[in-house]
Chain A
Amino acid sequence: MPADALFARELRDRELSEPAEDRAARLGFATWTTHLRVWAAADRAGVSEDGDLAAFIASRLWPDLPAAWRDRFVEVVRARAAEGHRLSRPSAAEDVVGERVAALMRAHGYPTGDR
């Protein structure tokens, strides 16, 4: 058996036997990382206005979202910003994956941001 096929089988076997909490923590970290990366990409692209940020984030995180929904999301974000409720950057994993998964991530040694 080629070595790469052996690796694929080995990894599949490990994933199938992975405890549920380990898996939740691992996938929670992937989700948290994705959000951090999208915000970092917005910074690099110089996107800062709330509506533009909403459009940027929606296009990257939910590319299959119907355009009408995305436009509505942008409208709502802009309206809230006009009332002083700015779009807030997630500072901790809890903001993205919730308290339970963030606690699992912490217990498994994953970084979870500042809280």
Chain B
Amino acid sequence: MRRDVIERLDGAAISCFVTGSEAMSIHGLAYRATDGIDLVIRIDPVAYEARLRPAFEPAYLVNEPLRIGHGWLGAVIHVTAIGKADLIMRDPDPWGEAAFARRVRVDDPALGPVWVSSVEDLLVAKLEFANGDLAGLQARDCRRIVETWPGLDLDYVRARASGLGLAGLLAELVTDAG
């Protein structure tokens, strides 16, 4: 289902990249057991109904986008298979643009060639989703990135985290991770 979702977005000329736990897995950073996938997509939410919905129906159920945080969240599930794709449409901002520019192309054993969030932008996204909670799953993933990723560009992460008001949380997490 995950590959199919990406192909349908490609077919509708909607740029995307994988983020969240699927991106953690693609980067070889974590095991995952769910069939969900989080995708950042580049589309004006106004065009969601006209461009995105027709690319998925009737094979998928498509929700109406919901306003969440700094953007909109859409979702699709296959009509029968177990699996869901969350579609993140971020409001235009410097980090969102940078994250698209820094996405990396990976020839993934499961998904084939696919655009994936850079590890640095994945860390920023997970910091944002942690919502200040350093004890939760998002923070655990953040620690794993800091502890295990060679050559992590912490200067970039600090700059982006600062722009999002997350500098203090990042500093705490980096100290915590040693």
Q: CB within 8 Å of B: which residues of A? A: 2-4, 6-7, 10-11, 14-15, 18, 26-27, 30-31, 33-34, 36-42, 45, 59-61, 63
Contacts and interface: CB of A to CB of B under 8 A. Distances in A.
B64 interface: yes
Contacts of B133: none
A39 B28 CA distance: 8
5 contacts: A11-B77, A30-B33, A33-B110, A37-B110, A40-B107
Nearest to A10: B77
> Which 7 pairs from chain A and chain B are nearest by CB?
A41-B28, A3-B63, A36-B109, A33-B110, A38-B28, A34-B31, A37-B28
Interface in B70-92: 73, 75, 77, 82-84
Nearest to B76: A7
Interface in B21-55: 25-35
**Which residue, of B31, B35, B61, B63, has the highest number of chain A Cβ atoms within 10 A?**
B31
B66 interface: yes
Nearest to B36: A11
Contacts of B77: 7, 10-11
B150 A3 contact: no
> What is the interface of chain B mostly: helix, strand, loop, or mixed?
loop
- Chain B: interface size category: 20 to 34
Given A30-B34, A40-B108, A42-B28, 8 more contacts: A4-B66, A4-B73, A7-B61, A7-B84, A33-B25, A34-B32, A45-B150, A63-B30
B110 A59 contact: no
Contacts of A59: 148
Given A3-B75, A18-B82, A60 B29 contact: yes
Nearest to B109: A36
B82 A14 contact: yes
Nearest to B62: A3
B79 to A, nearest CB: 10
Contacts of B75: 3-4, 7
